[in-house]
């Protein structure tokens, strides 16, 4: 027996509207389905909170069969974590983009308005297996690290 694939990655967020403004509005993800209050017994068993109430949104990642799921816990409320990339338990997803510089310029002001930030300007990858590509790290509205990656052409 072995893993046979991947379905989705889930992030817990503080404010679903702000997160959707980022993922749907800025990054172009599409909502597959939204459940404002998930309270089923099976779900509560899976998450380990017998009285849990979650606002759940499943998003389609453009150009991918993988999905992003967002949970906003209504009960019990959680505590924000330090998701700095060097902290154990922190993670990120790298999303492919066609033109990183153009995307960076187009979304820069909207990112700031949402309380998001870039770690750096787009960086040219001048060595290694992705030689010729471009990348940057940024943080979503909850401080979750995300990488935008423009693969080398050719």
Render 69-116 in DSSP notation, one character per residue: EEEEEEES--------TTSTT---EEEE-S-HHHHHHHHHHHHHHTT-
- The C-alpha atoms of residue 15 and residue 116 are separated, in whole angstroms, by 13
- The C-alpha atoms of residue 32 and residue 67 are separated, in whole angstroms, by 9
Which 8-state DSSP code applies to residue 50?
Answer: T
**pLDDT number for residue 74:** 98
**pLDDT number for residue 5:** 93
**pLDDT number for residue 15:** 97
**pLDDT number for residue 63:** 94
**pLDDT number for residue 11:** 97
The pTM assigned to this predicted structure is 0.94
**pLDDT number for residue 12:** 97
**pLDDT number for residue 50:** 98
Strand 117-118 and strand 93-96: the pairing is unpaired
**pLDDT number for residue 10:** 97
Task: pLDDT tens for the chain, 154 residues: list them.
Answer: 899 999 999 999 999 999 999 999 999 999 999 999 999 999 999 999 999 999 999 999 999 999 999 999 999 999 999 999 999 999 999 999 999 999 999 999 999 999 999 999 999 999 999 999 999 999 999 999 999 999 998 6
């Amino acid at each position: 027996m072995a893993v046979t694939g991947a379905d989705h990655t889930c992030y817990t967020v503080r404010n679903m509207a702000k997160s959707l403004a980022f993922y749907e509005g800025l990054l172009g993800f599409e909502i597959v389905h939204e459940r404002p209050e998930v309270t089923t017994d099976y779900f509560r068993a899976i998450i380990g909170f017998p009285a849990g109430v979650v606002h759940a949104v499943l998003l389609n990642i453009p150009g991918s069969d993988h999905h992003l799921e967002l949970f906003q816990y209504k009960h019990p409320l959680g505590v924000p974590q330090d998701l700095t990339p060097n902290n154990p338990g922190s993670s990120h997803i790298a999303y492919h983009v066609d033109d990183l510089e153009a995307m960076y310029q187009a979304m820069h002001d909207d990112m700031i308005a949402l309380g998001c930030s870039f770690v750096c300007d787009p960086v040219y990858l001048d060595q290694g297996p992705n030689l010729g590509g471009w990348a940057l790290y940024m943080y979503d509205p909850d401080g979750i690290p995300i990488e935008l990656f423009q693969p080398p052409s050719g």
